[in-house]
Protein backbone atom coordinates (compact mmCIF):
# COMPACT_ATOMS: atom_id res chain seq x y z
CA UNK A 1 0.00 0.00 0.00
CA UNK A 2 1.07 3.57 -0.66
CA UNK A 3 2.09 5.21 2.59
CA UNK A 4 1.12 8.73 3.55
CA UNK A 5 3.41 11.51 4.79
CA UNK A 6 3.58 11.49 8.58
CA UNK A 7 4.09 14.16 11.20
CA UNK A 8 2.20 16.97 12.92
CA UNK A 9 2.47 19.28 9.91
CA UNK A 10 1.00 16.79 7.44
CA UNK A 11 -2.67 16.12 6.85
CA UNK A 12 -3.65 12.56 6.07
CA UNK A 13 -5.27 12.15 2.67
CA UNK A 14 -8.59 11.35 4.30
CA UNK A 15 -8.50 14.33 6.66
CA UNK A 16 -7.54 16.63 3.79
CA UNK A 17 -10.37 15.19 1.68
CA UNK A 18 -12.89 15.83 4.45
CA UNK A 19 -11.67 19.40 4.95
CA UNK A 20 -12.14 20.00 1.21
CA UNK A 21 -15.64 18.51 1.12
CA UNK A 22 -14.69 15.43 -0.89
CA UNK A 23 -17.12 12.54 -0.44
CA UNK A 24 -15.80 8.98 -0.09
CA UNK A 25 -16.99 5.65 1.26
CA UNK A 26 -13.88 4.02 2.72
CA UNK A 27 -10.49 5.26 3.91
CA UNK A 28 -8.84 3.56 0.96
CA UNK A 29 -5.21 3.95 -0.06
CA UNK A 30 -3.72 2.96 -3.42
CA UNK A 31 -1.34 0.18 -4.35
CA UNK A 32 1.93 1.20 -6.00
CA UNK A 33 2.76 -0.47 -9.31
CA UNK A 34 5.83 -0.46 -11.56
CA UNK A 35 6.09 -1.94 -15.04
CA UNK A 36 8.63 -1.88 -17.83
CA UNK A 37 6.92 -0.61 -20.95
CA UNK A 38 8.14 1.15 -24.10
CA UNK A 39 11.71 0.93 -22.79
CA UNK A 40 11.07 2.81 -19.53
CA UNK A 41 10.07 1.88 -15.99
CA UNK A 42 6.66 3.40 -15.33
CA UNK A 43 5.05 4.03 -11.96
CA UNK A 44 1.33 4.14 -11.29
CA UNK A 45 -1.05 3.94 -8.35
CA UNK A 46 -3.90 1.45 -8.46
CA UNK A 47 -7.12 2.12 -6.53
CA UNK A 48 -10.12 -0.15 -6.10
CA UNK A 49 -11.17 -3.59 -7.27
CA UNK A 50 -9.66 -4.81 -10.53
CA UNK A 51 -13.01 -6.39 -11.46
CA UNK A 52 -14.66 -2.97 -11.60
CA UNK A 53 -14.75 -0.75 -14.71
CA UNK A 54 -11.41 1.00 -15.21
CA UNK A 55 -10.73 4.73 -15.22
CA UNK A 56 -7.23 5.86 -16.29
CA UNK A 57 -5.99 9.27 -15.09
CA UNK A 58 -3.22 11.41 -16.64
CA UNK A 59 -1.72 14.34 -14.74
CA UNK A 60 -0.44 17.65 -16.06
CA UNK A 61 3.05 18.98 -16.71
CA UNK A 62 5.28 18.92 -13.59
CA UNK A 63 2.58 17.07 -11.62
CA UNK A 64 2.35 13.42 -10.51
CA UNK A 65 -0.18 10.62 -10.24
CA UNK A 66 -0.98 11.90 -6.73
CA UNK A 67 -2.52 15.02 -8.25
CA UNK A 68 -5.61 12.82 -8.56
CA UNK A 69 -5.72 11.46 -4.98
CA UNK A 70 -8.96 13.22 -3.97
CA UNK A 71 -10.67 12.20 -7.21
CA UNK A 72 -9.40 8.61 -6.97
CA UNK A 73 -10.53 8.31 -3.35
CA UNK A 74 -14.05 9.31 -4.33
CA UNK A 75 -14.24 6.95 -7.31
CA UNK A 76 -12.52 3.81 -6.06
CA UNK A 77 -15.55 2.24 -4.37
CA UNK A 78 -17.17 1.77 -7.83
CA UNK A 79 -14.24 1.81 -10.25
CA UNK A 80 -10.71 0.58 -10.61
CA UNK A 81 -8.75 3.82 -10.86
CA UNK A 82 -5.26 3.82 -12.37
CA UNK A 83 -3.35 7.10 -12.05
CA UNK A 84 -0.12 7.10 -14.05
CA UNK A 85 3.14 8.99 -13.61
CA UNK A 86 4.05 10.18 -17.11
CA UNK A 87 7.60 9.59 -18.30
CA UNK A 88 10.05 11.88 -16.52
CA UNK A 89 7.55 12.69 -13.77
CA UNK A 90 7.05 11.42 -10.23
CA UNK A 91 8.47 7.94 -9.79
CA UNK A 92 8.52 7.02 -13.48
CA UNK A 93 11.89 6.78 -15.22
CA UNK A 94 13.41 9.80 -16.94
CA UNK A 95 14.06 9.43 -20.68
CA UNK A 96 17.81 9.29 -21.32
CA UNK A 97 17.32 10.95 -24.71
CA UNK A 98 15.00 13.62 -23.19
CA UNK A 99 12.22 12.56 -25.55
CA UNK A 100 9.13 14.02 -23.89
CA UNK A 101 7.21 14.53 -27.10
CA UNK A 102 3.49 13.88 -27.39
CA UNK A 103 4.19 10.85 -29.58
CA UNK A 104 6.49 9.34 -26.96
CA UNK A 105 3.95 9.81 -24.17
CA UNK A 106 1.15 8.43 -26.37
CA UNK A 107 3.22 5.34 -27.10
CA UNK A 108 3.87 4.95 -23.36
CA UNK A 109 0.15 5.08 -22.63
CA UNK A 110 -0.64 2.54 -25.31
CA UNK A 111 2.07 0.17 -24.04
CA UNK A 112 1.14 0.55 -20.36
CA UNK A 113 -2.52 -0.18 -21.03
CA UNK A 114 -1.62 -3.16 -23.19
CA UNK A 115 0.89 -4.50 -20.64
CA UNK A 116 -1.68 -4.25 -17.84
CA UNK A 117 -4.22 -6.10 -20.00
CA UNK A 118 -6.86 -3.37 -19.94
CA UNK A 119 -9.29 -3.79 -22.82
CA UNK A 120 -11.60 -0.80 -22.44
CA UNK A 121 -11.52 2.12 -20.05
CA UNK A 122 -12.57 5.69 -19.42
CA UNK A 123 -9.80 8.24 -19.78
CA UNK A 124 -9.38 11.55 -17.94
CA UNK A 125 -6.52 14.04 -18.14
CA UNK A 126 -5.69 17.49 -16.82
CA UNK A 127 -3.64 20.02 -18.83
CA UNK A 128 -0.86 18.07 -20.62
CA UNK A 129 -2.63 14.87 -19.59
CA UNK A 130 -5.85 16.19 -21.12
CA UNK A 131 -4.19 16.77 -24.48
CA UNK A 132 -2.65 13.27 -24.37
CA UNK A 133 -6.07 11.83 -23.47
CA UNK A 134 -7.68 13.67 -26.39
CA UNK A 135 -5.12 12.35 -28.87
CA UNK A 136 -5.28 8.80 -27.52
CA UNK A 137 -9.09 8.69 -27.67
CA UNK A 138 -9.04 9.90 -31.27
CA UNK A 139 -6.41 7.33 -32.30
CA UNK A 140 -7.75 4.34 -30.32
CA UNK A 141 -11.54 4.75 -30.27
CA UNK A 142 -12.05 1.03 -29.70
CA UNK A 143 -10.35 1.31 -26.29
CA UNK A 144 -11.75 4.52 -24.83
CA UNK A 145 -15.33 4.23 -23.57
CA UNK A 146 -15.54 7.81 -22.31
CA UNK A 147 -13.33 10.88 -22.12
CA UNK A 148 -12.92 13.75 -19.64
CA UNK A 149 -10.67 16.65 -20.65
CA UNK A 150 -9.79 18.97 -17.77
CA UNK A 151 -8.62 22.50 -18.60
CA UNK A 152 -6.87 21.39 -21.76
CA UNK A 153 -7.52 22.48 -25.33
CA UNK A 154 -5.99 22.81 -28.80
CA UNK A 155 -5.44 26.53 -28.15
CA UNK A 156 -4.16 28.09 -24.94
CA UNK A 157 -4.10 31.58 -23.52
CA UNK A 158 -0.58 33.01 -23.60
CA UNK A 159 -0.83 34.59 -20.16
CA UNK A 160 -1.48 31.29 -18.40
CA UNK A 161 0.95 29.11 -20.33
CA UNK A 162 3.70 31.71 -19.89
CA UNK A 163 3.04 31.83 -16.14
CA UNK A 164 3.44 28.04 -15.94
CA UNK A 165 6.77 28.28 -17.78
CA UNK A 166 8.04 31.04 -15.49
CA UNK A 167 7.18 28.92 -12.46
CA UNK A 168 8.98 25.88 -13.90
CA UNK A 169 12.11 27.86 -14.80
CA UNK A 170 12.74 29.22 -11.29
CA UNK A 171 15.70 28.01 -9.21
CA UNK A 172 14.89 24.34 -8.72
CA UNK A 173 17.01 23.47 -5.69
CA UNK A 174 15.89 24.92 -2.33
CA UNK A 175 17.04 24.44 1.24
CA UNK A 176 13.89 22.88 2.64
CA UNK A 177 10.50 21.43 1.88
CA UNK A 178 8.95 24.53 3.48
CA UNK A 179 10.68 26.71 0.88
CA UNK A 180 8.82 24.78 -1.82
CA UNK A 181 5.57 25.02 0.16
CA UNK A 182 5.97 28.82 0.30
CA UNK A 183 6.70 28.97 -3.43
CA UNK A 184 3.61 26.93 -4.35
CA UNK A 185 1.35 28.89 -1.97
CA UNK A 186 2.53 32.14 -3.54
CA UNK A 187 1.85 30.76 -7.01
CA UNK A 188 -1.58 29.35 -6.14
CA UNK A 189 -3.37 30.79 -3.11
CA UNK A 190 -6.53 28.72 -3.54
CA UNK A 191 -5.24 25.95 -1.27
CA UNK A 192 -4.32 25.92 2.41
CA UNK A 193 -0.69 25.62 3.45
CA UNK A 194 -1.39 22.25 5.10
CA UNK A 195 -2.99 20.91 1.92
CA UNK A 196 -0.06 22.11 -0.19
CA UNK A 197 2.51 20.58 2.16
CA UNK A 198 0.76 17.21 2.32
CA UNK A 199 0.40 16.92 -1.46
CA UNK A 200 3.75 18.48 -2.38
CA UNK A 201 5.70 15.75 -0.58
CA UNK A 202 4.87 13.48 -3.54
CA UNK A 203 6.35 15.94 -6.04
CA UNK A 204 9.71 16.81 -4.44
CA UNK A 205 12.66 14.84 -3.14
CA UNK A 206 15.54 15.43 -0.72
CA UNK A 207 19.02 15.27 -2.23
CA UNK A 208 22.17 13.87 -0.64
CA UNK A 209 23.42 17.42 -0.05
CA UNK A 210 20.39 18.07 2.16
CA UNK A 211 18.60 20.34 -0.30
CA UNK A 212 15.26 19.66 -1.99
CA UNK A 213 14.26 19.63 -5.64
CA UNK A 214 11.42 18.61 -7.95
CA UNK A 215 10.97 14.98 -8.94
CA UNK A 216 10.36 15.68 -12.61
CA UNK A 217 13.23 15.70 -15.11
CA UNK A 218 15.42 18.78 -14.89
CA UNK A 219 15.48 18.95 -18.70
CA UNK A 220 11.81 19.96 -18.66
CA UNK A 221 12.66 22.99 -16.51
CA UNK A 222 15.00 24.57 -19.06
CA UNK A 223 13.92 27.67 -20.98
CA UNK A 224 14.13 25.77 -24.27
CA UNK A 225 11.50 23.21 -23.30
CA UNK A 226 7.82 23.91 -23.92
CA UNK A 227 5.03 21.39 -24.48
CA UNK A 228 2.79 24.09 -25.97
CA UNK A 229 5.19 24.85 -28.82
CA UNK A 230 5.45 21.42 -30.45
CA UNK A 231 5.14 22.04 -34.21
CA UNK A 232 1.67 21.52 -35.66
CA UNK A 233 0.14 20.73 -32.27
CA UNK A 234 -2.96 23.00 -32.41
CA UNK A 235 -4.04 21.62 -35.80
CA UNK A 236 -3.38 18.07 -34.65
CA UNK A 237 -5.50 18.59 -31.54
CA UNK A 238 -8.41 20.20 -33.42
CA UNK A 239 -8.38 17.27 -35.84
CA UNK A 240 -8.48 14.93 -32.83
CA UNK A 241 -11.45 16.85 -31.38
CA UNK A 242 -13.45 16.27 -34.54
CA UNK A 243 -12.71 12.52 -34.52
CA UNK A 244 -13.98 11.87 -30.99
CA UNK A 245 -17.15 9.78 -30.95
CA UNK A 246 -17.31 8.55 -27.34
CA UNK A 247 -19.21 10.46 -24.64
CA UNK A 248 -17.02 13.37 -23.58
CA UNK A 249 -16.96 15.90 -20.77
CA UNK A 250 -14.87 19.06 -21.12
CA UNK A 251 -14.20 20.69 -17.74
CA UNK A 252 -12.77 24.19 -17.38
CA UNK A 253 -11.70 26.09 -14.30
CA UNK A 254 -13.86 29.19 -13.92
CA UNK A 255 -10.74 31.30 -13.26
CA UNK A 256 -8.49 29.49 -15.72
CA UNK A 257 -5.91 31.66 -17.45
CA UNK A 258 -4.93 28.78 -19.76
CA UNK A 259 -8.19 27.69 -21.44
CA UNK A 260 -10.78 30.28 -22.48
CA UNK A 261 -14.51 29.69 -22.16
CA UNK A 262 -14.94 30.27 -25.91
CA UNK A 263 -12.42 27.58 -26.86
CA UNK A 264 -13.97 25.09 -24.42
CA UNK A 265 -17.40 25.74 -25.94
CA UNK A 266 -15.98 25.34 -29.45
CA UNK A 267 -14.58 21.95 -28.46
CA UNK A 268 -18.03 20.96 -27.26
CA UNK A 269 -19.63 22.00 -30.56
CA UNK A 270 -17.13 20.03 -32.65
CA UNK A 271 -17.52 16.73 -30.75
CA UNK A 272 -20.26 14.25 -31.46
CA UNK A 273 -21.38 13.71 -27.84
CA UNK A 274 -19.94 16.33 -25.53
CA UNK A 275 -20.94 18.41 -22.53
CA UNK A 276 -18.94 21.40 -21.28
CA UNK A 277 -18.84 22.22 -17.56
CA UNK A 278 -17.21 24.98 -15.54
CA UNK A 279 -15.89 24.51 -12.01
CA UNK A 280 -16.00 27.84 -10.24
CA UNK A 281 -13.36 28.94 -7.73
CA UNK A 282 -10.75 26.98 -9.66
CA UNK A 283 -7.90 27.92 -11.93
CA UNK A 284 -5.95 25.75 -14.35
CA UNK A 285 -5.34 22.96 -11.81
CA UNK A 286 -9.05 22.35 -11.33
CA UNK A 287 -8.68 18.95 -9.69
CA UNK A 288 -6.95 20.30 -6.59
CA UNK A 289 -8.28 23.88 -6.58
CA UNK A 290 -11.92 22.90 -5.97
CA UNK A 291 -12.00 19.13 -5.51
CA UNK A 292 -15.54 18.94 -4.11
CA UNK A 293 -17.17 20.72 -7.06
CA UNK A 294 -14.93 18.86 -9.49
CA UNK A 295 -16.14 15.61 -7.92
CA UNK A 296 -19.77 16.68 -8.30
CA UNK A 297 -19.19 17.29 -12.03
CA UNK A 298 -17.20 14.20 -13.03
CA UNK A 299 -18.64 11.40 -10.88
CA UNK A 300 -22.13 11.50 -12.50
CA UNK A 301 -20.41 11.27 -15.90
CA UNK A 302 -18.59 8.07 -14.93
CA UNK A 303 -21.65 6.62 -13.20
CA UNK A 304 -23.72 7.09 -16.38
CA UNK A 305 -20.93 5.75 -18.59
CA UNK A 306 -20.76 2.23 -17.14
Which residues 6+ apart lie within 8 Å of 37 measured at CB? 108, 111, 112, 114, 115
| pLDDT at site 223 | 81
**How many CB atoms are closer than 10 A to CB 295?**
23
Please list the ranges in the chain whose pLDDT falls under 70.
1-8
Domains and CATH numbers, the chain: 13-158+230-305 (3.40.50.1820)
Model confidence, pTM: 0.96
Is-contact 90 61, C-beta < 8 A? no
Is-contact 167 273, C-beta < 8 A? no
Is-contact 259 228, C-beta < 8 A? no
**Which of helix, strand or coil describes residue 277?**
strand
pLDDT single digits (tens) 30-65: 999 999 999 999 999 999 999 999 999 999 999 999
| pLDDT at site 1 | 46
| pLDDT at site 9 | 73
Q: How far is CA 155 from CA 64, 186, 231, in A?
A: 23, 26, 13
Name which of 91, 95, 100 is nearest 33 in CA terms. Answer: 91
**How many CB atoms are closer than 10 A to CB 142?**
7
| pLDDT at site 8 | 60
pLDDT single digits (tens) 192-231: 999 999 999 999 999 999 999 999 999 999 887 888 778 8
Antiparallel, parallel or unpaired: β 54-58 and 121-126: parallel
Amino acid sequence: METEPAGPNFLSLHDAARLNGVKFTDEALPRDGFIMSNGLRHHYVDWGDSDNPTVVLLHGFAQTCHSWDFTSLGLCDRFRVLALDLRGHGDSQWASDADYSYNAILEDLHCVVETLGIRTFALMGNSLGGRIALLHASECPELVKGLVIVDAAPEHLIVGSARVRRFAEQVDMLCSLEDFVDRVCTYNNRRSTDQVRSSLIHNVKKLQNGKWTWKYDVKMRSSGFNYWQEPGLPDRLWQAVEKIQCPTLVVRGGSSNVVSASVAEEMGRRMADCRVATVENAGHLVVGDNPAEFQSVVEPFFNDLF
